Structure 1
């Protein structure tokens, strides 16, 4: 599932292409929305809230979409061939100069802009909120510390605590904090620092497609432990281990260095080599 910075960048690119423009084509191909034609509407804004996208129109409505695992918005010049098959298109928003195509979009809904909170009001503070304040940080800290009996790695992924962290940043935050992903939140020495670190990493990558937590953009050098199972830790040389964390649909692969990240170990099996992508 895309991280919050990926969704933030998607919103920025759609905003630059569509905001202030009238649609000459506005097709919604989701089964529950096919009767709606947005042609003639003017796009006012495109905003991200955590991992949710809202395209706002001049008639007081918003198109909500969620990328989940396989969704994406592509931008084309009118007439250009699409890079994905047409049957995957769920929305086509075209102006005189640009065409935005939403492929494999999920949880689509056309709703009054004033009611967007109905879909995202349950989320914790958005780490990429442009209006982030001390109040946002305090609320994230309150929600974070309230999960004291839960594992750090799982709480970092909990969008109701703070919105925007995915498995990549969860993994890297745990490493940079020097804590096992299975550390209980009550045992995290500085919870505020964990929140601040997650926000810092997301902000660092919010305006570019490359995601790096090491400060390097070269291939194979962008992360400390994420997706590096069996390879040597960049700090100490210990082989990075992998294991699943969480249950059912919430299970994700965790990568960690047992030397740099002392603490609780996973209850299930541990792999010392191999690579894998989180579900």
Structure 2
């Protein structure tokens, strides 16, 4: 919603200010379809040329995601802490029982309590792979932490492909606007024998290309790319939480301490308070009794 409000402000301020200054929208509206075909079409073609199908699909999804905001909310962080607490307790009491959950998380009664997390393949895989490494005696906390760090860096780098693709479009749009403007000037020079009022409109139409390229780059596509980058970085904290808790578990801290370590590493806007987490864990303990 906030993204839509931003777009409305951009259009109202730019075109409202232009109109209040005495500018005529008729010249822009007359040239806009043709300039948009050239600039937008060239940008789309360059985008398709420089990306594979998976990247194109991810970028389209990324645009939608930039407006929807971060995937993981306050309640999801609390649920993740509860999920990890249950899994750690099972791992400490019965490693054999733990295998039933990490080898088939889609059928796990523990994962099933948290459907939003269960649907996220990366989060589930990160949890299961890390806990599985502990059952295989690969339990050096420092080595595991390094492996998890590299894994999450690779995942984040891959997720940022959509951001880079959008930013590349934004970087190229001003130049494509100049291309459209030059074509407009060429068209104008071919009609140099026309009266000044006609030439003036033609030159104005040509300059619409430059305006449109810069406007789209810095007013729309660039900000969307920046917003998407922020959303992806915000969601990455959710996976960092998994790493912090499971590494603390490998250090053999008490389950409650592991959860508190993770809670402290959650960004402030999404961090559940101590009493909220304690109450949730207390409920889990009562249900398990």
- TM-score tier by shorter-chain length is under 0.3
If each structure's strand is expressed as a fraction of its own residues, which one has the higher value? 1
TM-score by length of 1: 0.24
If each structure's helix is expressed as a fraction of its own residues, which one has the higher value? 2
Structure (1 or 2) with the larger CA radius of gyration: 2
TM-score by length of 2: 0.23
